[in-house]
């Protein structure tokens, strides 16, 4: 069988129409979700910050009742960098840890040695962390096979 | 003397006929295009050499040929017929893909969907020409311009067509620089080619990490038959993005994908034995493959033009041509075409976004066709 008859006999029109509709709806849905992804993440981040603040307030109240005061650095609003997100604080801590190691090594430093020392110090996931530092250009190549801190 | 004569009559020289010679020439052309012209060498060279090896004439019954039981080649070919190699290649592809441009401009994903129109148009055309539905679907998927997806679907629906479909799909992928530019020039004006894409927003790492999960949830739930491809694709991407498994991601995007590509290319090439491959059907598949690929390119471009009617911030319609999933060939071609019109226009990243959405789109289309015809 050939021609339009073959299409009708095998439900070809419906297959083509439903098929392309499914592909379109799948990708439209995916594109809509990823266009909203950053908003959803922002929402979670805000919710997380608010939840943290409430926790601090409750702890402060409880401490007051017990007659003790929270240290200034742990009190919301009195922190040195109140607007920093948890992720930023975390990455600052990572940089601080690795800078401590490279301070002893001197700049420029070799990556294998840095990884070796980081492993010996028991730092968490040194390979992926150093990779992240290179990707974020905190650590940059000096062009001679060694690396230096950018900031 | 009898022994010598018997030996001579069993040699490839004695058993060769015109079909073997034609296939040898085809294999040599693949090797030439890959090695000398640098057209998709990673694919064409294993396939080309596979064609040479697969078409060495031999005495049937010795368990040497790819279609003979318990032969070494048949075991290697098992990964093709079961769809294992395409799945493994998708794992590596996922570990290579950077979704940043796509997440920065999600509307480009629609161009990846539009390019899949070529698949369904060819499905209808193949049915008109008298192919059976399963064969028509296997031929139509060539329009997705994705070799592993084409092989995967054909292995599931029409295993007897794997050779011609795979050869057609990879040939057209290699011939992107020849096929796509005339279509792009024909369907766009110079003014349209000059459109610059604004810089996309910065995409935080968290989004890149969440995307594979969202992708699996939406695409695989919508078309579960695409799990073997998209499941491993998004898994590979998560290995890359999560940061904790860089070693695994590196292995997936280098050693694993290379190994699978070598075996897939070589065995697909070896499966094109002259007596099986040189048929009228194969010629039809090649012609329909060209139609599928051209329609896919054209529909992407035309859809981009339609989108521009409604968008305030216009998109360069050339990007529609990158909606086919030939990564990164078609993105490179779009970029080059854009630069011919304006050397300072940089379209590569946006074209890669369309390319990666094309990969997802064609895998969904394969899943949908498989589930229709299972």
User: Measured between alpha carbons, how far is residue B361 from residues B311, B320, B329 in Å?
Assistant: 22, 13, 17
Chain B positions touching A25 (Cβ under 8 A) are 222
Q: What are phi and psi of B270, to 5 degrees?
A: -70, -20
Instruction: Determine contact: B202 vs chain A, CB below 8 A.
Output: no
Q: Which residue has the higher pLDDT, B278 or A76?
A: B278
Structural domain boundaries enclosing B114: 65-373
Cβ pair B169, B293 in contact under 8 A: no
* A83/A76 Cα distance (integer angstroms): 10
pLDDT at B356: 92
Q: Nearest CA to CA, how far is B1 from chain A (Å)?
A: 56
Instruction: Determine contact: A128 vs chain B, CB below 8 A.
Output: yes
Chain B positions touching A10 (Cβ under 8 A) are 127, 132-133, 136
pLDDT at B184: 95
- B102 within domain boundaries: yes
- B9 within domain boundaries: no
Diameter of chain B measured on Cα atoms: 85
Q: Indicate the range of A69-73, B216-220, B245-249 predicted with least confidence.
A: A69-73
- B45 within domain boundaries: no
Give pLDDT tens digits for B221-255.
988 999 999 999 999 999 999 988 989 999 999 99
DSSP designation for B195:
P
* B28/B13 Cα distance (integer angstroms): 18
Residue B202: left (phi > 0), alpha (psi -120 to 50), or beta?
beta
Q: Which of B121, B278, B289 is nearest to A23 (CA)?
A: B121
Give pLDDT tens digits for B123-138.
999 999 999 999 999 9
Instruction: Determine contact: B113 vs chain A, CB below 8 A.
Output: yes
pLDDT at B110: 93
Query: Looking at the DSSP assignment, which residues form a beta bridge with residue A109?
Result: A147
* B279/B22 Cα distance (integer angstroms): 12
Instruction: Determine contact: B119 vs chain A, CB below 8 A.
Output: yes
Q: How many CB atoms sit inside 10 A of residue B113's CB?
A: 27
User: Measured between alpha carbons, how far is residue A46 from residues A41, A51, A88 in Å?
Assistant: 9, 8, 14
- B100 within domain boundaries: yes
- B200 within domain boundaries: yes
Chain B positions touching A127 (Cβ under 8 A) are 246-247
Least CB–CB distance from A26: residue in B106, B223, B246: B223
Q: What is the ipTM of this complex?
A: 0.88
Band of pLDDT at residue A103, cut at 50, 70 and 90: confident
Instruction: Determine contact: A43 vs chain B, CB below 8 A.
Output: no
Q: What total number of domains does chain B contain?
A: 1
User: Measured between alpha carbons, how far is residue B248 from residues B148, B296, B327, B344, B372 in Å?
Assistant: 21, 34, 22, 37, 35
- B17 within domain boundaries: no
How are beta strands A147-149 and A139-141 bridged, if at all?
antiparallel
- B29 within domain boundaries: no
Mean pLDDT taken over chain B? 91
CB spacing of B130 vs A2 below 8 angstroms: yes
Q: What mean pLDDT is predicted for residues B20-32? A: 92
- B32 within domain boundaries: no
Query: Looking at the DSSP assignment, which residues form a beta bridge with residue B259?
Result: none
CB spacing of A2 vs B119 below 8 angstroms: no
Cis omega (within 30 of 0) for bond into A108: yes
DSSP designation for B230:
I
Query: Looking at the DSSP assignment, which residues form a beta bridge with residue A32?
Result: none
């Amino acid at each position: 069988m050939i021609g339009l008859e073959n299409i009708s006999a095998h439900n070809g029109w419906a297959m083509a129409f439903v098929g392309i509709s499914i592909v379109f709806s799948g990708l439209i849905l995916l594109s809509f979700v990823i266009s909203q992804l950053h908003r959803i993440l922002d929402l979670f981040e805000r919710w997380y910050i608010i939840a943290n603040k409430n926790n601090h307030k409750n702890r402060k109240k409880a401490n007051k009742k017990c007659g003790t005061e929270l240290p200034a650095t742990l009190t919301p609003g009195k922190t040195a960098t109140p607007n920093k997100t948890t992720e930023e604080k975390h990455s600052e801590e990572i940089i601080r840890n690795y800078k401590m190691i490279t301070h002893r090594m001197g700049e420029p430093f070799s990556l294998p040695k840095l990884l070796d020392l980081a492993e010996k110090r028991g730092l968490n996931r040194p390979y992926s962390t150093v990779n992240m530092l290179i990707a974020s250009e905190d650590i940059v190549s000096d062009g001679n096979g060694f690396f230096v801190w950018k900031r | 003397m009898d022994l010598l004569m018997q030996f001579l009559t069993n040699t490839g020289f004695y058993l060769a006929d015109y079909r073997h010679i034609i296939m040898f020439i085809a294999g040599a052309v693949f090797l030439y295009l890959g090695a000398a012209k640098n057209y998709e060498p990673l694919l064409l060279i294993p396939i080309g050499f596979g064609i040479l090896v697969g078409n060495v004439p031999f005495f049937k019954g010795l368990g040497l040929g790819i279609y003979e039981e318990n032969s070494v080649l048949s075991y290697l070919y098992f990964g093709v017929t079961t769809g294992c190699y395409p799945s493994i290649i998708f794992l590596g592809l996922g570990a290579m893909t950077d979704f940043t441009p796509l997440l920065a401009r999600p509307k480009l994903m629609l161009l990846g969907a539009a390019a899949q129109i070529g698949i369904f148009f060819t499905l209808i055309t193949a049915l008109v020409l008298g192919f059976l539905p399963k064969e028509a679907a296997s031929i139509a998927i060539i329009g997705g311009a994705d070799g592993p997806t084409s092989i995967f679907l054909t292995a599931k629906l029409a295993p007897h067509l794997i050779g011609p479909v795979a050869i057609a799909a990879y040939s057209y992928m290699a011939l992107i620089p020849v096929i796509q530019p005339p279509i792009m020039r024909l369907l766009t004006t110079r003014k349209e080619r000059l459109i610059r894409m604004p810089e996309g927003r910065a995409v935080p790492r968290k989004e890149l990490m969440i995307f594979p999960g969202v992708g699996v949830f939406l695409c695989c739930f919508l078309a579960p038959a695409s799990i073997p491809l998209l499941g491993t694709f998004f898994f590979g991407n998560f290995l890359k993005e999560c940061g904790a498994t860089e070693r695994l991601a590196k292995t997936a995007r280098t050693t694993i994908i290379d190994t699978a590509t070598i075996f897939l290319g070589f065995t697909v090439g070896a499966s094109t034995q002259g007596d099986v491959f040189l048929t009228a059907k194969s010629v039809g598949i090649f012609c329909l493959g060209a139609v599928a690929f051209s329609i896919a390119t054209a529909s992407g471009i035309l859809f981009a033009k339609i989108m521009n009617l409604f968008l305030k911030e216009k998109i360069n319609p050339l990007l529609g041509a990158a909606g086919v999933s030939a990564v990164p060939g078609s993105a490179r071609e779009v970029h080059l075409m854009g630069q011919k019109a304006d050397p300072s226009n940089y379209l590569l990243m946006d074209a890669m976004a369309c390319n990666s959405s094309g990969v997802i789109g064609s895998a969904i289309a394969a899943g949908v066709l498989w589930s229709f015809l299972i």
